[in-house]
Amino acid sequence: MTDTVQLTREDGVAVITLARPEKANAYTQAMLARLRAHLDDLAVDASVTVVVVTGGRKHFSAGADLDELSVRCGRDALDLASRQTFDQLARMPQPVIAAIGGAAIAGGFEMALACDLRVCSPDARFALTETALGLVPAAGGMRRLVHILGAARTKDLVLCGREIDAPTAHAWGIVNSIEGDVLARAMAVARSLQSRDAVAQRLAKMAIDATAAGGVDGALEAAIQAFLYERRRNAASTS
């Protein structure tokens, strides 16, 4: 049986690949469980400094498997596996890069939004289509988009189900760059990240995420910088 969520490691970069191309990488509950298991392992692996998530060149992910979606009940929404998985992805201590080839639709778009940086192909397209099914994006997509786009554009995407192309996603700040070979670009960004101080990066990510959540002022930045100043001084004194 083919592993539909594959993990490889290359010199400190972990690459997670969604591998269900016949279904445009639509994810099942089993795939989400597999993804969570990989994330658990990577979060405590000191040898891994950057994580890349991709679906290959043709599809990032079409979101939740529609056959499974059709049998969901109200209780499932309270402990929604996709929300738990994407929140776990967002909390990863390492920087996480989404390499988006092709479509990122519905929950696939929400998965990409949980990553720290996003690189997409020229033919990439993005949409939150849930309201057409009588649902809403409930795996973190709405709250993350509000931080990126503000309320008006988020409502445009969610209420109207508007599909946007790669140039629009880039202009709106949803993706960081548009590249012909998204995985190669993601790996180049990963190598660039590896050249910087890993502890400072992790603390910076924590501060940015906490600030985006709306509950942090400059005190956290000051505390982090104080720690890093002392760390640098101690390193200098022992060298």
Q: Which positions are catalytic? A: 130
- Residues sharing a CB contact under 8 Å with residue 122, sequence separation 6 or more, in sequence order: 166, 178, 180
- Residues sharing a CB contact under 8 Å with residue 148, sequence separation 6 or more, in sequence order: 113, 172, 173, 174
Q: In 3D, which of 69, 147, 133, 140 has the Cα closest to residue 110? A: 140
- Residues sharing a CB contact under 8 Å with residue 50, sequence separation 6 or more, in sequence order: 12, 13, 14, 94, 95, 96, 97, 190, 193, 194
Q: In 3D, which of 116, 79, 121 has the Cα closest to residue 97? A: 116
